[in-house]
Amino acid sequence: MGASKTVASRRHALLTGAAPEVRWEAQQAAQGASTFSVVLPLYNEEENIETLYRRLTAVMEGLGEPYEIIFVDDGSVDSSAEQVRVLHEGDTRVKLVRLARNFGHQAAISAGLDVACGQAVIIIDADLQDPPEVLPEFVATWREGYEVVYAIRQKRKEDALKRAAYYTFYRLLKRLAAIDIPLDSGDFCVMDRRVVDVLTAMPERNRFVRGIRAWVGFRQIGIPCERDCRQAGTPKYNLRKLMRLATDGLVSFSYIPLRLASLFGFVISAVAFALALWTIYEKLIHPDYIAGLTTIVVAVSLLGGIQLITLGIIGEYIGRIFDEVKQRPLYTVREVLGFDEQ
Ligand code: UDP
Ligand code: MG
């Protein structure tokens, strides 16, 4: 199969939202053009693209092997896509996948992984919080035979509240998750082709990339890495998106919240049993004993509360089951640029 045909079919597969197997085959055929693929999710990052491109190119040139830089524009409403287009005109290694709307960071990463054809795929944030300068060390570790080399955030230069939230989330996840998801690991990583192939073939819709990346196994290693401040612009994750990501992480990797329901059940039953014994005793001792209204109100509202919480937890799981059975694609693509010049 000729290179152009391969790329055309890959592009076609992407644009038509083809089944994962088709995309996978097309991707397999397109491999070998680049050693490295850098995947960058972008959402209104116009102030950062210039510096990002400059710093990243300097590092990638230093590695001395063919590479591609894939910008995934996640429905930006600023000039991000136009800037990438300009970069592409001067450097055909720069490519663009433009999603049809804002699908979120994790979906944007998945889109990038779907089109990347390098032997190693690098995922990095576009706001320069993850310094590209550490990549040579990551790549050297990948060459030693590790299939996943991820960053462990040493110091977060973010405000105290956010740091506390992240800290608690990762520890809670560690406690609850059925698999070992490394503490404080982010999406910043280098992954071998074998791992990327497994990830892109996975049909899961609620994607918590650092979780499924840990789930696939292979040899993984974390490298401590300081997390900088955002170079420019405001964080694109608002509280709602962060909470969504956190619940995705917890619910996709743990059944323990569901088991809480049974735990509540047992505890309440035990208390109720004790109360019943006590009431009978009182009744026997004082024949004119009438159980208090307070007891009834407390019991009813406590039970009502617990039942609603439990329903909510079950709802989190059912909502995700619903997402999975609908089988909608993870994202839709409006435009791709640069995938036919190789
Ligand atoms: N991002 C995205 N889609 C979104 C939100 C964020 O593609 O809906 C990108 C964003 O442009 C950045 C990366 O994901 O490159 C991380 O986002 P951000 O810096 O806001 O997250 P934080 O560092 O605060 O976790
Ligand atoms: Mg950031």
Q: How confident is the prediction along the chain (342 residues), in pLDDT tens digits per residue?
A: 344 444 445 555 555 555 555 555 555 555 557 889 999 999 999 999 999 999 999 999 999 899 999 999 999 999 999 999 999 999 989 999 999 999 989 999 999 999 998 999 999 999 888 899 999 999 999 999 999 999 988 776 677 877 888 888 888 888 887 777 777 778 899 999 999 989 988 888 877 888 888 888 889 998 988 877 777 777 777 778 888 888 888 888 787 888 887 888 888 888 888 888 887 888 788 877 776 777 787 778 778 888 888 888 888 888 888 888 888 888 999 998 888 744
* In contact, 231 and 47? CB cutoff 8 Å: yes
Q: Which residues lie below 8 Å from residue 7, measured CB to CB, with a gap of 6+?
A: 30, 339, 340, 342
Query: Model-level pTM?
Result: 0.74
Q: Is 36 in the pocket of ligand 1 (CB under 6 A)?
A: no
Residue whose CA is closest, atom 23 of ligand 1? 235
Give the position, in ligand 1's atom list, of the atom nearest the Cα of 41.
7
List residues bridging with 99 in a β-sheet: 333
The bound ligand whose nearest atom lies closest to the alpha carbon of 235 is: 1
Cα gap 111→331, rounded to integer Å: 7
Question: Which atom of ligand 1 is nearest to 127's Cα?
Answer: 15
Q: Tell me which of 127, 158, 189 to substitute to probe ligand 1's pocket, judged by most ligand atoms within 8 Å of the beta carbon.
A: 127
Tell which phi-psi region holds residue 78, choosing left (phi > 0), alpha (psi between -120 and 50) or beta.
beta
Contact 151, 159 (CB under 8 A): no
Which residue shows structure tokens 């970069």?
87
Would you state the pLDDT for residue 1? Answer: 37
Give the number of the atom of ligand 1 that is nearest the alpha carbon of residue 230. 19
Can you read off the two tokens belonging to residue 62? 């230093």
